[in-house]
Amino acid sequence: MQELDRKIIEKAAKGDIDCFEEIFKTYSSLVYHVAFRVSGSHEDAGDITQNVFLLLHRKLASFRFQSKFTTWVYRIASNQALNHVKSRAGKKYISYDEAFAGEVSLSAVNIRESLENNEAIDKLLSYLTPEQRICIILRTVQGLSYAEIAEAVGVDIDVVRSRLRRAREKLVDFKSEVKYGL
């Protein structure tokens, strides 16, 4: 994703509503996409997106250009989405049984091909914890580097590597379970 001109961000931070609207137009689909993939709900994604832009508006003046603006937006979106998911009453993530009850087998679908199919993505992501989910989304779907993910999520790069490894292991285990009917 191309970065916005620094002047637009600076003007928006000083209260220029047209410049903030430009920020919204540029980043709203990115924020919504991350929010939806983490929450699994269009309604929740809309709420998360709204909260992200309210927070961006309030905190824009504190952005110091020490990182890419996009990375800062990812960080806010990731944190808001994770907090929202964690705050849902009694559920950290959707269980395997809920996600796949009555569904056809995915045995013929490998994980990479599944990531190209939105419905399959949602089902596969529901099998992961929110922390694993956000790392997979930022790496596989958004194409961020490990360092960019670490900065966006606010954790050490080794934590990102660990979360991605565990998420991939879970997805491979899941594929085996489905394939062999375990």
Are 17 and 80 within one domain?
yes
CATH of the domain at 123: 1.10.10.10
Instruction: Decide if 70 contacts 23 (C-beta within 8 A).
Output: no
Whether pLDDT at 181 is above 70? no
Instruction: Decide if 156 contacts 91 (C-beta within 8 A).
Output: no
3-state secondary structure 133-179: HHHHHHHHHCCCCHHHHHHHHCCCHHHHHHHHHHHHHHHHHHHHHHH
Are 82 and 137 within one domain?
no
Structure confidence by residue, pLDDT tens digits, 89-111: 555 444 434 444 444 333 334 44
Looking at 44, 60, 92, which one is the last position of a domain?
92
**Token output for 78:** 């990731």
How many domains in the chain? 2
Are 122 and 140 within one domain?
yes
Q: Residue 125, class by beta-carbon neighbours within 10 Å (0-12 exposed, 13-18 middle, 19+ buried)?
A: buried
Are 15 and 76 within one domain?
yes
Are 53 and 101 within one domain?
no
Instruction: Decide if 143 contacts 116 (C-beta within 8 A).
Output: no
Average pLDDT for the chain: 80
Least confident of 109-118, 127-136, 155-164, 170-179: 109-118
What distance in Å separates the CA atoms of residue 181 and residue 100, rounded to the nearest whole number?
Answer: 13
Are 87 and 102 within one domain?
no
What distance in Å separates the CA atoms of residue 39 and residue 37, rounded to the nearest whole number?
Answer: 6
Looking at 41, 62, 92, which one is the last position of a domain?
92
Are 105 and 178 within one domain?
yes
Whether pLDDT at 129 is above 50? yes
User: Helices 146-153 & 157-180, crossing angle to 10 degrees?
Assistant: 100
| DSSP secondary structure letter of residue 61 | G
Are 21 and 86 within one domain?
yes
Question: What is the pLDDT at residue 40?
Answer: 83
**Token output for 82:** 């994770």
Whether pLDDT at 113 is above 60? no
Are 63 and 147 within one domain?
no
Question: What is the pLDDT at residue 104?
Answer: 37
Structure confidence by residue, pLDDT tens digits, 29-73: 999 999 998 888 889 999 999 999 999 999 999 999 988 899 999
Domain boundaries, position 72: 1-92
Q: Which residue has the higher pLDDT, 140 or 7?
A: 7
Looking at 40, 69, 92, which one is the last position of a domain?
92
What distance in Å separates the CA atoms of residue 136 and residue 31, rounded to the nearest whole number?
Answer: 15
Are 64 and 139 within one domain?
no
Are 75 and 99 within one domain?
no
CATH of the domain at 5: 1.10.1740.10
Are 105 and 87 within one domain?
no
